[in-house]
Amino acid sequence: MKIKAKLYLAIGIFNLLILVLAIVGTISIQSMKSDTDSILKANYSTLDYCRNMLNALDSGLTNEKNLTEFQNWLDKQQNNITETGEYDLTNALIQHFSEFKLNVDDKTIEKKIRKAISEITLLNMNAISHKSEVAKTTSQKAIIWISITGTIFFLISFVLLFNIPSSIAHPVEILTNSVKEIAAKNYSLRVDYKKRDEFGILADSFNTMAEKLEDYEKINISKILHEKKRIDAIINNMHNPVIGFDDSLNIIFMNTEAKTLSGLKDIDIIGKQAKDIALKNDFIRIIIQDISVTNEKDKKNEPIKIFSENKEYYFEKESIRIIDSSAHERFTNHIGDVIILKNITAFKELDIAKTNFIATISHEMKTPVSSIKMSTHLLESTKTGNISEEQKSLIQGIDEDCNRLLKIISELLKFTQVETGNIQLTLQQCDPSEIVQYALDTVKFQAEQKNISLILNIAEHLPKIKADKEKTAWVLINLLSNAIRYSQNKGSIEIEVRTSENKVLFSVKDNGIGIESRYQNKVFDKYFQVPDNGKIGTGLGLAISKEFIEAQGGKIGLESQIGQGSRFYFYLNT
């Protein structure tokens, strides 16, 4: 039977039971009502008439009014004869009353009247007692019938109450549990439900779905395993070390190159927490640094040096954050990270060779250039003889070229120190005003040649800074020299020194042409020069300045707009 038909049948039976119980109750109540009405209308009215006739008789029938009243109640009694024998008694009462009206003083007739009224009253009282017993019997029968009917109907309802909901809830429970199993990827499950109702049809559909899912799962797993083997083969054949992590930083794969560098085996790493392995393995400790940093600006891009097989290797780390955005377009879910180490050992060796070559050449060039500069000073001296104006001009040109070469050589030597990591810092408590004054004295002559005003705005009571006085002064001189070089004649340069959040800020602002925004993040790179600026330089000064300031724990930066000049600044700790 269909579930819909079962529900209709159950509701129909409930309604029928209620209707039958209502009919039985109505009939029983109606029967009791009939018995009660019979007593009230037939017997009680007669008793009332008899009582009123006795009252009139007691008041005396010599009065015309009392006779009329007695006659009135007697007429009503004559019309309310309901019991056997009541007719004869009423007729006798009428006859006696007729005789009494002829002789009202006859006490014998009055006694007969009273006797007839008493007999009528007694007859009706006996009838009331009998009818009360009948009504009581009717009431008991009604209670019995209603009790029997109610009990039968309760049993029927009880049976339906347990059968109907269970017949619906049980298959629902079976199907619910089956769906949970399917959700848990138990595709081999089948629903054993043989009834041919709606749930039976649903169970058949469910079994068909589970069967197809099981077939699909087998095919899908085969494809996944094939693809996994293919991907594993590709990763293992990559020449760069590759390591994969899940969102909890557990290692999920590592290719052959990475395992060779780490000295670990699959059993030691796969599925293990990277932070736990990093406590015992330097390779893992180095590569997981900054893996949780999402801001690219905060990540360190320095090459990683790893010692393996009695040789130093240099790698550039690329950290790829794996995001799953398939769940919802507006939400992303971090599911893991992949780290690729690009082997840059050959490039690093070339860079080291280049640095050593530059250091050697710069050192070798410094001596002959210094000799040339000394020779130009000797030629300018009158002790070696008089020279013409034309010769003097040539000597000055040679001297300027020597100064330029010496500056370039000095920057190259400082840069080789930076690249080789041989920056020697002498950190001490320094007075910022002394550093500023030394730098201003150094560039004062250069500024006067272009009629540039140096405007100093230095705060009072500046705290001392923890810095290398010589290298900080070199950075400030470099910034001032650049500002003078790129400023217009008769311009001005503002130098500001003040405290800022427990640091001391040094700032140099010029009135030059400014730097385009697309070049501003490159000006501190090695050998970079802003295109078409019309100036000649090595492109090393700002790179060296950046290394010097950051080596002291400070920060350097710039602000610039085209046509409004540039402002270079750096912070140092107090």
- 60-92 pLDDT, tens digit per residue, is 766 777 778 888 888 888 888 877 888 888 888
CA distance 215 to 532: 68
CA distance 114 to 126: 18
Answer whether residue 190 is part of any domain.
no
Which pLDDT does position 384 carry in this prediction?
A: 62
Q: Residue 110 is encoded by which pair of tokens?
A: 């009055």
139: three-class secondary structure by DSSP: helix
Largest CA distance in the chain: 200
**460 and 413 both lie in a single domain:** no
Q: Among 419, 438, 473, which residue terminates a domain?
A: 419
Helix (H) or strand (E) holding 329, with range, is none
End-to-end CA distance of the chain: 90
DSSP strand pairing (465-468 vs 427-430): antiparallel
Partners of residue 494 on adjacent β-strands: 455, 509
Reading across the β-sheet that carries 251-254, which strands appear in turn? 251-254, 242-246, 331-343, 311-328, 304-308
Which stretches does DSSP call E strand in 344-426?
A: none
Which pLDDT does position 256 carry in this prediction?
A: 83
| One-letter amino acid of 430 | C
Closest CA to 278 of 264, 267, 266, 292: 264
- Residue range(s) defining the domain that contains residue 367: 349-419
**407 and 522 both lie in a single domain:** no
200: three-class secondary structure by DSSP: helix
**135 and 151 both lie in a single domain:** yes
Answer whether residue 184 is part of any domain.
no
DSSP strand pairing (242-246 vs 331-343): antiparallel
The answer to whether 439 and 476 are in contact (CB under 8 A) is yes
Which pLDDT does position 465 carry in this prediction?
A: 92
Answer whether residue 224 is part of any domain.
no
Which pLDDT does position 495 carry in this prediction?
A: 93
Q: Residue 428 is encoded by which pair of tokens?
A: 């001490």
Answer whether residue 456 is part of any domain.
yes
What is the CATH number for 274? 3.30.450.20
**286 and 354 both lie in a single domain:** no
- 151-167 pLDDT, tens digit per residue, is 887 787 777 777 766 66
**378 and 435 both lie in a single domain:** no
CA distance 208 to 388: 110
Helix (H) or strand (E) holding 112, with range, is helix 107-183
Write the DSSP symbol of residue 42. I
**355 and 337 both lie in a single domain:** no
What is the CATH number for 400? 1.10.287
CA distance readout (Å), 280 to 263, 432, 481: 11, 46, 51
Is the pTM of the predicted complex or chain greater than 0.75? no
**398 and 327 both lie in a single domain:** no
CA distance 527 to 515: 16
Write the DSSP symbol of residue 462. P
Q: Among 392, 419, 446, which residue terminates a domain?
A: 419
Write the DSSP symbol of residue 194. -
Which pLDDT does position 532 carry in this prediction?
A: 60
CA distance 95 to 572: 144
What is the CATH number for 113? 1.20.120
User: Which residues are CB-neighbours of 293 under 8 A, at least 6 positions away?
Assistant: 299
Rg, the chain, Cα only? 60
Answer whether residue 389 is part of any domain.
yes
CA distance 204 to 191: 8
Tokens 């001032």 sit on residue? 480
The answer to whether 336 and 246 are in contact (CB under 8 A) is yes
Which pLDDT does position 476 carry in this prediction?
A: 92
CA distance 508 to 557: 11
User: Which residues are CB-neighbours of 5 under 8 A, at least 6 positions away?
Assistant: none
Answer whether residue 180 is part of any domain.
no
φ/ψ of residue 312, rounded to 5: -90, 130
**396 and 441 both lie in a single domain:** no
Answer whether residue 219 is part of any domain.
no
φ/ψ of residue 99, rounded to 5: -65, -35
* Tens-level pLDDT at each residue, the chain (574 residues): 566 666 667 677 777 777 777 787 777 777 666 666 655 566 778 888 888 888 877 777 667 777 788 888 888 888 888 778 888 888 888 888 788 777 777 778 878 888 888 888 888 888 878 877 777 787 788 788 878 887 887 787 777 777 766 666 667 777 777 778 777 777 677 777 667 666 677 777 777 887 777 777 777 777 777 777 777 777 777 778 888 888 888 888 888 888 888 888 878 788 888 888 888 888 888 888 777 655 555 555 677 777 776 777 888 888 888 887 655 555 567 788 888 888 887 776 666 666 665 656 655 666 677 777 777 776 776 666 677 777 777 777 787 777 767 766 676 666 666 556 556 677 899 999 999 998 998 888 888 888 999 999 999 889 999 998 888 988 999 899 889 988 888 889 999 999 988 899 999 999 888 888 888 888 888 777 777 655 556 677 888 888 889 888 899 999 998 888 899 999 999 8
Q: Among 398, 419, 440, which residue terminates a domain?
A: 419
Number of domains in the chain: 4
Q: What is the DSSP annotation of 227-289?
A: HHHHHHHHHHT-SS-EEEEETT-BEEEE-HHHHHHHT--HHHHTTSBHHHHHTT-HHHHHHTT
**320 and 391 both lie in a single domain:** no
Instruction: Please state the three-class secondary structure of 478-516 as a single string.
Output: HHHHHHHHHCCCCCEEEEEEEECCCEEEEEEECCCCCCC
**41 and 134 both lie in a single domain:** yes
Answer whether residue 305 is part of any domain.
yes
Which pLDDT does position 38 carry in this prediction?
A: 58
CA distance 537 to 535: 7
**155 and 281 both lie in a single domain:** no
User: Which residues are CB-neighbours of 229 under 8 A, at least 6 positions away?
Assistant: none
**386 and 477 both lie in a single domain:** no
